[in-house]
Amino acid sequence: MFCVRKDDETAQLRILLVTPEGRGSGLGQRLVDRAIEFARAAGYRRMVLWTNDPLAAARRIYLDRGFRLVDEERHHSFGVDLVGQNYALAL
């Protein structure tokens, strides 16, 4: 996972990946928490992210931290029909 600058006021969370061995250990939660702390300390006022609808465990982490669904768009990727979702969090 990493956190990048989207614009002067917005940080973007990118690619939250936890190995199968690390899943269920709270590692994903801790990574997202650290990214949010980093963005706040860096002076960003908002954080955004994009994900796909089947990624329920990641979505639960985001929602538990206050991210809100902004919009959705259907797309075809990885050989399947998916719904891309954009989330935002005020920092």
Residue range(s) defining the domain that contains residue 86: 2-90
pLDDT in the model for residue 49: 98
Question: How far is the CA of 71 from the CAs of 23, 26, 65, 84, 87, in angstroms?
Answer: 27, 27, 18, 8, 7
Whether the Cβ atoms of residue 66 and residue 59 lie closer than 8 Å to each other: no
- Domain of 39, CATH number, reads 3.40.630.30
What's the one-letter identity of residue 9? Answer: E
Number of independent structural domains in the chain: 1
* Mean pLDDT score, 5-34: 95
Contact, 52 vs 84, CB < 8 A? yes
Distance CA 54, CA 61 (A): 14
Q: What is the pTM of this model?
A: 0.91
Region of 43 please: left (phi>0), alpha (psi -120 to 50) or beta: left
Q: What is the mean pLDDT of the chain?
A: 95
User: Does residue 42 carry a pLDDT above 90?
Assistant: yes
